[in-house]
């Protein structure tokens, strides 16, 4: 399965496994977080969408900013480093 390329579309990839389309919203740490699962994505626009190892806390920015409005064909990858760019 490692050779399958998944493109980030702004929705929670964990929720998609259950057949759900769940929004990812900008949190107070400036990561996109699933409103359902807490999955966090660091979006490196035009390159990668990095699935972070840590879950979010549900603390979102007051203004509703959704990942679907910023996703631009980034390849979804898992976090490999502890510091930006995380991959």
- pLDDT tens by residue, the chain, 87 residues: 456 679 999 999 999 999 999 999 999 999 999 999 999 999 998 899 999 999 999 999 999 999 999 999 999 999 998 988 888
- Domain ranges across the chain: 13-78
Question: How much helix, strand and coil, in percent to the nearest 5, is found in the chain?
Answer: 10, 30, 65
Q: Tell me the whole-structure pTM to 2 decimals.
A: 0.90
Cα–Cα distance, 65 to 18 (Å, whole number): 24
Name the residue with tokens 């980030």. 8
Residues forming a β-bridge with 31 = none
Beta-strand relationship, 75-78 and 32-34: unpaired
- HSE-CB at 15 with a 13 A cutoff on CA atoms is 17
């Amino acid at each position: 399965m490692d050779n399958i390329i998944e493109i980030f579309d702004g929705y929670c990839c964990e929720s998609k496994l259950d057949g759900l389309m769940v929004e990812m919203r900008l949190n107070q740490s400036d990561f996109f977080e699933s409103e359902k699962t807490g999955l966090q994505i660091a979006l490196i626009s035009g390159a990668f969408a990095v699935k972070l190892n840590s879950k979010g806390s549900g603390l979102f920015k007051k203004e509703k900013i959704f990942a679907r409005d910023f996703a631009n064909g980034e390849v979804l990858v898992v976090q490999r480093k502890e510091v930006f760019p995380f991959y």
